[in-house]
Amino acid sequence: TDPEDTILAAFKLFDPNGTGFVNKDEFRRLLMNQADKFTADEVDQAFSVAPIDVAGNIDYKSLCYIITHGDEKEES
């Protein structure tokens, strides 16, 4: 199974309307309170590279790309 497909499928569980976004605060709560609990520092570190809009929503398709391919933006 392709890791990118696996990650996208997991995010889609939290996006029943298929918008391509998950709420940052809701996702933070889930990461810190479910299964293998993340610490606040671990969540902050993950969110530091996450594409988050002004409404506080994470573009999880872009985040999935960053997770699987790295942040490949070229520096000027």
pLDDT of residue 73: 55
Place of tokens 């929503």: 57
> What pLDDT, in 10s, does the model give residues 14-42?
998 999 999 999 999 998 998 788 999 99
Could you tell me which of 27, 32, 18 has the C-alpha nearest to residue 56? 27
How far is the CA of 57 from the CAs of 3, 36, 65, 75, in angstroms? 23, 23, 16, 26
Helix, coil or strand: residue 21: strand
The full set of domain ranges for the chain reads: 3-69
Burial class (CB in 10 A: 0-12, 13-18, 19+), 22: buried
Percent of the chain with pLDDT over 70: 91
| pTM, entire model | 0.78
Six token digits for residue 35: 């299964």
Binning pLDDT at 50, 70 and 90, where does residue 74 land? very low
What architecture (CATH level 2) is domain 3-69? Orthogonal Bundle (1.10)
Grade residue 72 by pLDDT with cuts at 50, 70 and 90. Answer: low
Please report where in the chains the tokens 């499928």 appear, as a residue: 9
